[in-house]
Structure 1
Amino acid sequence: MSQHATLSPSPGHAVLATHDLRKVFRTESVETIALAGINLSIDPGEYVAVTGPSGCGKTTLMSILGLLDDPSSGTYLLSGTSVAGLSESARAKLRNQHIGFVFQSFNLIDDLSVLANVELPLLYRGGVRPAERRERAEAMLDAVGISHRRQHYPSQLSGGQQQRVAIARALATEPAILLADEPTGNLDSKAGEAVMQLLEDLNIRLGSTILMVTHDLHYANRAKRIVRLADGQVVDEHFAADGHVLELKETELSKGFEVQWNDNVR
């Protein structure tokens, strides 16, 4: 088991990078612009939150970055590899090797144990011996603090515990990046805080590269960089520096965001 739960991209490459990424949905009478030229780059070890109001393009962007959808135009490089023109099987292989997914709905398989759920992506990958699959899965369960539940089933766990298992499963393949789509969306505030603390710890302890999409500014502030979307565009981007946490206060969409500094140390 390697020390860091990440795969290093090729030297000189960001984990992911987009240039002028656009997505247009068309029907016979309507054209909807979901993404209007997104430029985004995430380096190894970064923890980035993408936030914005409903309809701003967050979900569309996450689907494209996760290789679940294609852009209408623009460039997307994943670990230095252009995804343009790849066959579905090549995309699936790239997705399995380089991306870990965490969804708000957990997506655990009910009739598999916690341990078996975490082993599953390694089974899909192929070429990993059963003993190694088990070792990696147990190491990830230990990393997220849920190893004592390894033989339980999802229905026997709380929502917060299920999300921990989902995060362990996402990390089992040692992905280049963890894509977390509203990871606290189905959790109460206490469980949500615990999951956010876990993501922060994984970023610090394991060097995990994390891109989180959230509408909750409180949770977005836990990331090291905050990217704000509106109308399919990046309209604001800020880093947390010197222990200061950025607070983004939503105003009228036409006015964008007012940025305030908070002297609370993280």
Structure 2
Amino acid sequence: MAESVIDVIDLKRIYRTDHVETHALAGVDLTVRRGEYVAVTGPSGCGKSTLMAILGLLDDSSAGQYRLAGQDVANLRERDRASFRNRHIGFVFQAFNLIGDLTVAENVGLPLIYRGGIGKAARDERVAAILSEIGIVHRAQHYPAQLSGGQQQRVAIARALVTEPDIILADEPTGNLDSRSGEAVMELLEDLNTRKGATILMVTHDLHFARRARRVVRLSDGQVVDEGFGEAVVALHPEDDDRTGAV
């Protein structure tokens, strides 16, 4: 059995405002093994985005254990957390999060600059290889505003891959795309998983795309209530297909 990249045990996240407690996560157990493609689904407000933020080291848990690439990351200092995130996680966001005054190549190369210790020639070679791999090298010197939504998301995926992370976290990656562009992005993610062995954890409210993952984990009220083969889990919960984007 492949080694685990993510190990979560009894993960909890409680938000407190005045006298009100909101249990966004109420004891989540989750393991993602190297080479897996996992989709996280569930009704609006079930905790999908909260879980993704914690897994991406963008938020802290209130209780529980979280090991990423074999290391306990719960108590990392902020500076160490940023460095660890850069080495081990690639992000793909719904809103692309590209920098408008940087070219495609410059956007993709940013994580390598943040990492440090990599010369410009080596960075340029790595960026060109990734852009070629995802089929957008011909747009290397264009700016985000000159690209379609689907092309921008491809650039975002290239940026996520350029550091060769242990896992790609994709948060509603088709949420801002039309159906045709969404299908193209999903085909790219599937190809990266099956051909390159990329480990992918995707949060989505779109069951059409969720069923394409190898495994689906369904959340409800901050807990894992179902998981298994993608098509089987999706078929049991058609009510989760919330196209509003609320999570």
TM-score range, shorter chain: over 0.9
Match of 1:184 in 2: 174
CA distance, structure 2, for counterparts of residue 145 and residue 245 of structure 1: 32
Q: Could you list the per-position Cα deviations for residues 51-100 of structure 1 after superposition, in whole angstroms to 9, with x for gaps in the alignment? A: 01110000000000000001000000000000121100111111000000
Choose from 185, 199, 208 the match for 1:195: 185
Choose from 90, 94, 97 the match for 1:107: 97
Choose from 209, 230, 234 the match for 2:224: 234
The size of the alignment, in residue pairs, is 240
Higher RCO, 1 vs 2 (CA within 8 Å, ≥6 residues apart):
2
Match of 2:235 in 1: 248
In structure 2, give the amino acid aligned to 1:104: Q
1:54-133 maps to which residues of 2 (within 5 A)?
54-133=44-123
Match of 1:216 in 2: 206
Match of 2:245 in 1: none
Query: When the two structures are superposed, what TM-score results if normalisation uses the length of structure 2?
Result: 0.94
Distance 1:221 1:148, change over 3 A: same
In structure 2, give the amino acid aligned to 1:250: H
Choose from 11, 20, 41 the match for 1:21: 11
8 Å CA contact 1:13, 1:80 repeated in 2:
no
The structural deviation recorded for 1:249 is 4.2
8 Å CA contact 1:160, 1:192 repeated in 2:
yes
For the pair 1:140 / 2:130, whether they are aligned, the reply is yes
The structural deviation recorded for 1:204 is 1.1
Q: Could you list the per-position Cα deviations for residues 208-253 of structure 1 after superposition, in whole angstroms to 9, with x for gaps in the alignment? A: 000000001110001000000000000100125xxx7664343679
Gaps of 5+ in 1: 1-10, 254-266
8 Å CA contact 2:43, 2:239 repeated in 1:
no
SS at match of 2:66: strand
The structural deviation recorded for 1:12 is 7.4
CA distance, structure 2, for counterparts of residue 144 and residue 37 of structure 1: 37
CA distance, structure 2, for counterparts of residue 239 and residue 140 of structure 1: 30
Match of 2:244 in 1: none
In structure 1, give the amino acid aligned to 2:237: E
For the pair 1:36 / 2:26, whether they are aligned, the reply is yes
In structure 2, give the amino acid aligned to 1:231: D
CA distance, structure 2, for counterparts of residue 137 and residue 154 of structure 1: 16
SS at match of 1:24: strand
Gaps of 5+ in 2: 241-247
More helix by share: 2
CA distance, structure 1, for counterparts of residue 158 and residue 47 of structure 2: 27
SS at match of 1:15: strand
8 Å CA contact 1:58, 1:229 repeated in 2:
yes
